[in-house]
Structure 1
């Protein structure tokens, strides 16, 4: 059964990260290995966080991945270029929220999509902390977008 393609919410910023397909990413089946996709989900979420929050905030708060779920829709071949990941966040639930990622080829076709559940923690104690509304606002679109 085919899963519907993830669609960004209109009220969320979509952050785009270019991805590089390196020779070591290719598995025995001749396409990007599934472990690489998990790394991309984590790297893309981290890039979004680092781009939107200052060093002081990042020193106080950190994120722990609780789970990743990936749907593989189209293989990415060796040497592929123009691969990008698009990511956005869902609604917070206490210290947690889902992050959505769509990985697309140079033609805009969805190759994979994933949902990761992340938990906000105090960087010093690693204890979960509620996601403040001010933090979520950074991930929302603005009327200027």
Structure 2
């Protein structure tokens, strides 16, 4: 399994009215790290042939993060069956090691020209699984 890792520091723009990270920001970070992992690992020709769309997000908010907190994010593909892949994203507080967020997202692979679902190839599985 290929695990992709990213670190960030919570900024003022990430906060909500309660002065902790806004739930919408976590969703954006899930989207961002997923895209970055794909762009980092998938060959350019594959990136031009296919696109991924979200089918569903399941997010568990375990603990709050605040201004200047370090966050360590990791993501990996848990399973790929047919045209669907399940991606896991975990966010951990960089100092306390407390789990902040656990997310499971179902993605569907589409042909970039037809926008029709296509099976996840063995080549693609070999890259990410």
1:51-75 per-residue CA deviation (whole Å, 9 max, x = no partner) reads: 1012211011110011111101110
Task: Confirm whether residue 137 of structure 1 aligns to residue 122 of structure 2.
Answer: no
* Structure 2: gaps spanning 5 or more residues: none
Question: Quick one: which of 95, 105, 127 aligns to 1:116?
Answer: 105
**TM-score between the two structures when normalised by the length of structure 1:** 0.84
Structure with bigger strand share is 2
Question: Quick one: which of 66, 69, 76 aligns to 1:88?
Answer: 76
d(CA) in 1 for partners of 2:106, 2:7: 22
Alpha-carbon deviation of 1:33? Answer: 0.4
Alpha-carbon deviation of 1:22? Answer: 2.1
SS of the aligned residue for 1:91 comes to: strand
Q: State whether residues 79 and 87 of structure 2, in contact with CA within 8 Å, keep that contact through their aligned partners in structure 1.
A: no
- Corresponding residue of 2:45: 56
d(CA) in 1 for partners of 2:10, 2:85: 28
1:17-36 per-residue CA deviation (whole Å, 9 max, x = no partner) reads: 12342211100111000001
SS of the aligned residue for 2:67 comes to: coil
Cα RMSD, aligned residues only? 1.1
1:96-140 per-residue CA deviation (whole Å, 9 max, x = no partner) reads: 011001001113221111000000011122111000111011113
SS of the aligned residue for 1:124 comes to: coil
* Structure 1: gaps spanning 5 or more residues: 1-11, 141-145
